[in-house]
Amino acid sequence: MKAKITAVAVLLAATAGVWAQNAGKKDDPATQPAGQPASVASPTYVIGADDMLLVSVWKEPDLTTTLPVRPDGNISLPLLNDVHAAGLTPMQLAASISEKLRRYVADPRVTVVVTQINSQKVYVTGEVLHTGAIQLLPDMTVLQALADAGFTQFANTKSIYVLRTENGKEQRIPVNYKKLIKGQITNITLKAGDIIVVP
């Protein structure tokens, strides 16, 4: 009989411990269901104009909003009006917003998620079917951009080149399309602002 009572007491104590742990988790933001969209950017991504951001303030639904970064690099938030976002990583922006919100909210916990990358673009011009800007995806190559743009019948695919400006200097990187598709030359990973010229 004593053994049964002891077993029941141990079971009740264990159940109470689990219940206490779960009760404590309800208010812990780290254990909340992830109802937010996943970020399309890496933690080191630098926010730019036209990017779409989700700014979430824990337990403050009126301050949680999805909004674009304006051409001037700012976003408009309730209570704070304009906050500069361009040039910052999501974590840096979250810290900046948290600091500004302390005047209005006790212990604000802010998360910034990049939901769309619109500021990173490359450009294709010349004898292609679709000239203009292409959104730069992570690790996008010159071959992917050319596949998106397509060639006209007059394209000189042996003399394609990429114009890239780094540290104020313009580089001209030649791309022989026929060698590229055969794997005879390295497929170039594009950077924001690159211009692909198809003569």
What type of residue sits at position 190?
L
Residue 95 has pLDDT above 70, yes or no: yes
- CA–CA dist 195, 133 (Å, integer): 9
Mean pLDDT of 164-188: 92
Contact between 83 and 29 (Cβ < 8 Å): no
Residue 45 has pLDDT above 80, yes or no: yes
- CA–CA dist 54, 111 (Å, integer): 8
Q: Which of 19-23, 49-53, 76-80, 121-125 has the lowest mean pLDDT?
A: 19-23
**Between 108 and 33, whose confidence is greater?**
108
Q: Which of 71, 73, 33, 40 is nearest to 54 (CA)?
A: 40
pLDDT of residue 77: 94
Q: Into which CATH architecture does domain 121-198 fall? A: Roll (3.10)
State pLDDT tens for residues 103-156: 999 999 999 999 998 899 999 999 999 999 998 887 899 999 999 999 999 999
pLDDT of residue 198: 97
From the candidate CATH numbers 3.30.1950.10, 3.90.320.10, 3.20.20.70, 3.40.50.1820, the one assigned to the domain spanning 36-116: 3.30.1950.10
- CA–CA dist 197, 199 (Å, integer): 6
pLDDT of residue 139: 87
pLDDT of residue 27: 41
All structural domains of the chain with their residue ranges: 36-116, 121-198
Q: Binning pLDDT at 50, 70 and 90, where does residue 41 land?
A: confident
Strands 121-126 and 195-198: parallel
CA triple 179-182-188, angle to 5 deg:
65
pLDDT of residue 28: 40
Mean pLDDT of 68-78: 95
